[in-house]
Amino acid sequence: DAGVTQSPTHLIKTRGQQVTLRCSPKSGHDTVSWYQQALGQGPQFIFQYYEEEERQRGNFPDRFSGHQFPNYSSELNVNALLLGDSALYLCASSGVVEGREAKNIQYFGAGTRLSVL
Amino acid sequence: KNQVEQSPQSLIILEGKNCTLQCNYTVSPFSNLRWYKQDTGRGPVSLTIMTFSENTKSNGRYTATLDADTKQSSLHITASQLSDSASYICVVSGPSGTYKYIFGTGTRLKVLA
């Protein structure tokens, strides 16, 4: 049973470019959350997707957008990249599996390290 | 305002020693509190999960305690190993159904030989 997988693992972009990060949730999970983690800081909530819709959003500008597909996988898109967007981007999934897991227990992927030059 | 504060910010101990990390939160009501271990550049990995009715939960050399009255939790690491060097993050979930997760900024632990 695969856990949460993210791709790519590392990415280097220049200012002004656009980037797409991908996440496949843990098998059976239907909810995907995205976080931005700057070096030495705790993760900051970007948004959460459920049933292909953005359900909650943190304090991030509209340059950050996302999408969830029918198979529950998700993408995070960032437009007009800034130097300050350099961070580890984490994807977390949650959901009920065989009725035993609480819906709000998250499992994290290994993250995508984005460097903006 | 819902907050999660962790202390100390960083900690250095010798291999084989014990240590305790603290987490204070103001999230109310809450459904569960989790401790994660995060290696540098990697995603967080869950160590323990406790609901408001649980006082203690162990996972090998890791033991978490929770006092829901004082809104405090601790993570005790016994007989530390070099591989324990990591950041330890306390995460408090809001009421079930709100899907809110409040993260602490973590404690960076360094275990020296």
Mean pLDDT of B59-72: 94
Residues of A in contact with B43 (CB under 8 A): 4, 6, 90, 108-111
Chain A: which residues have CB within 8 Å of chain B? 4, 6, 31, 33, 35, 40-45, 48, 55-56, 88, 90, 102-111, 113
The share of chain B scoring above pLDDT 90, in percent, equals: 65
pLDDT grade, residue B31 (50/70/90)?
confident
Contacts by A12-17 with C-beta closer than 8 Å and gap 24+?
Answer: A12/A114, A12/A115, A12/A116, A12/A117, A13/A81, A13/A114, A13/A115, A13/A116, A13/A117, A14/A81, A14/A116, A14/A117, A15/A81, A15/A82, A15/A83, A15/A116, A15/A117, A16/A80, A16/A81, A17/A81, A17/A116
The reply to whether residue B49 touches residue A45, judged by beta carbons under 8 angstroms, is: no
Residues of A in contact with B97 (CB under 8 A): 103-104
| Token pair 């300050």 in the structure block, residue | A84
Computed over every residue of chain B, the mean pLDDT equals 90
Q: Output the six-digit token pair for B12.
A: 């250095």
The reply to whether residue A104 touches residue B93, judged by beta carbons under 8 angstroms, is: yes
pLDDT grade, residue B3 (50/70/90)?
confident
The reply to whether residue B99 touches residue A43, judged by beta carbons under 8 angstroms, is: no
The reply to whether residue A110 touches residue B101, judged by beta carbons under 8 angstroms, is: no
pLDDT grade, residue B82 (50/70/90)?
very high
Nearest CA in chain A to B45: A108
pLDDT value, residue B76: 98
CA-to-CA distance for B107 and A80, rounded, in angstroms?
33
CA-to-CA distance for B18 and A48, rounded, in angstroms?
37
pLDDT value, residue B98: 55
Mean pLDDT of B38-64: 90
CA-to-CA distance for B113 and B102, rounded, in angstroms?
34
Q: Tens of pLDDT along chain A (117 residues)?
A: 569 999 999 999 999 999 999 999 998 888 999 999 998 888 988 999 998 999 888 889 999 999 999 999 999 999 999 999 999 999 999 876 555 555 557 889 999 999 999
Strand partners, A22: A7, A75
